Amino acid sequence: MTGGQFVSHCTADAISAAAKALKAGALVAFPTETVYGLGADANNGFAISRIYKVKGRPNDHPLIVHVASLDRIHPWIADIPEYAIALARSFWPGPMTLILKRSDLAKDFVTGGQETVGLRVPSHPIALALLQAAHDLDIAGIAAPSANRFGHVSPTNSQSVRDELENFLDAIDVILDGGQSDVGVESTIIDCTGDLPRVLRPGAITKEMIKNSTGQAVSNEVSEIRVSGSLEQHYAPAAKVLLDADPQPGDGLIALSEFETPNGVVRLGQPSNNEEFARILYQALRSGDYQKLTRIVVIQPKGEDIAIAIRDRLLRASRGR
Ligand code: TXA
Ligand code: MG
């Protein structure tokens, strides 16, 4: 059985059909600049319950609500601190999720029963067009986790979405193709419920950028908020991921291009900088699985830029599924 209508050319008509499918309670997988999302009308409890089923994800994990612009977050929230407005103005549309105090619109089935809601304005043109078309049908937001099975690597192209989910989607569901995600790792999640912004999940928007935007320090407190991406084991391929090890013949290898490939080692990725490392990482891990490798060695990139997010995901991937 294969489910989900695959749309390879996202014309305006195709996007409006996808929005109508959302309105009718279907799931729509769509591209964003970070990773692909599996979307549902954020106010449709039945559609949301299907997201959890399709992903095989525990029910109490909160979802990010996506909207088309900053002014559309207001129905979802009770209030917003000044520094969060500064962040939204600096980095939306873009790879950043803000955690804010929820309003009554944000139901338990989206927030996992927490008093907060995660909100993001993605920058991918197809995501924005879908959000706008959905808004025109009175859909206040699209709830969307990454479009992978629970614990797996997030998809960064539509083929990976099909590989992950096709067997779990229904005929009414839709998969939109929008090419390769540009950033390649999930959004930076920032808790905005305290006096200072606090990073719950590192991403392309770094602490330095947050400091510069808000003029405020970034809290180093450890979070008590549940973030499933913070589970110790997550973002993992089937192969065993070894960090900074000596690759043996038959192993896969992902490392910056300055590292040479030893004899007999299968090179899965050789990005020339940290941004490219993030962009190719998940697909490179997947290609190790497609080639049925049992071990993938990754030489971690150094630095305080997006390399922080890469090392965060790699650490979790190295702990296995
Ligand atoms: O880049 C991204 O953020 C992608 C694209 C599709 O937008 N989405 C994504 O969703 O990565 P997901 O569900 O795979 O990861 C979102 C994380 C989860 O770990 C969830 O626990 C956390 O965000 N989250 C969502 N709402 C939250 C809330 N109210 N409080 C704390 N964490 C929250
Ligand atoms: Mg995810």
Task: Residue 139: give the domain boundaries.
Answer: 5-214
Query: Using a 6 Å cutoff on CB, does residue 61 contact ligand 1?
Result: yes
- Minimum-distance ligand to the CA of 228? 1
Cα–ligand 1 centroid distance for 225 (angstroms): 12
The CATH number of residue 248's host domain is 3.40.50.11030
| Six token digits for residue 180 | 């390769």
**Burial track 99-112 (b if 16+ CB lie within 10 A, e otherwise):** bbbbeebbbebbbb
Summarised one tens digit per residue, pLDDT across range 257-305 is 999 999 999 999 999 999 999 999 999 999 999 999 999 999 999 999 9
Q: What is the pLDDT of residue 222?
A: 61
Summarised one tens digit per residue, pLDDT across range 49-91 is 999 999 998 888 999 999 999 999 999 999 999 999 999 999 9
Give the integer Cα–Cα distance in Å for 286 and 308: 21
Total length of the chain: 321
* Same-domain status, 54 and 149: yes
* Same-domain status, 267 and 206: no
* Same-domain status, 140 and 277: no
Give the integer Cα–Cα distance in Å for 74 and 44: 19
Cα–ligand 2 centroid distance for 70 (angstroms): 23
| Six token digits for residue 265 | 């080692």
* Same-domain status, 275 and 173: no
Summarised one tens digit per residue, pLDDT across range 156-206 is 999 999 999 999 999 999 999 999 999 999 999 999 999 999 999 999 999
Query: Using a 6 Å cutoff on CB, does residue 35 contact ligand 1?
Result: yes
* Same-domain status, 159 and 277: no
Query: Using a 6 Å cutoff on CB, does residue 228 contact ligand 1?
Result: yes
Cα–ligand 1 centroid distance for 207 (angstroms): 18
Residue at a domain's end among 196, 214, 232: 214
User: Looking at ligand 1, which atom is closest to the CA of residue 114?
Assistant: 29
Q: What is the pLDDT of residue 3?
A: 84
Give the integer Cα–Cα distance in Å for 178 and 15: 12
- Measured by CA distance, the residue closest to atom 3 of ligand 1 is 187
- Measured by CA distance, the residue closest to atom 22 of ligand 1 is 227
Q: What is the pLDDT of residue 304?
A: 94
Q: How many domains does the chain have?
A: 2
Cα–ligand 2 centroid distance for 99 (angstroms): 16
- Minimum-distance ligand to the CA of 118? 1
The CATH number of residue 202's host domain is 3.90.870.10
- pTM of the predicted model as reported, rounded to 2 decimal places: 0.96
Q: What is the pLDDT of residue 88?
A: 98
* Same-domain status, 304 and 204: no
Which has more confidence, 226 or 174?
174
Cα–ligand 1 centroid distance for 153 (angstroms): 14
Q: Is the pLDDT of residue 233 over 70?
A: no
- Residue 230: which pLDDT band, with cuts at 50, 70 and 90? low
Summarised one tens digit per residue, pLDDT across range 88-145 is 999 999 999 999 999 999 999 999 999 999 999 999 999 999 999 999 999 999 999 9
* Same-domain status, 248 and 209: no
Query: Using a 6 Å cutoff on CB, does residue 301 contact ligand 1?
Result: no
* Same-domain status, 60 and 206: yes
- Residue 2: which pLDDT band, with cuts at 50, 70 and 90? low
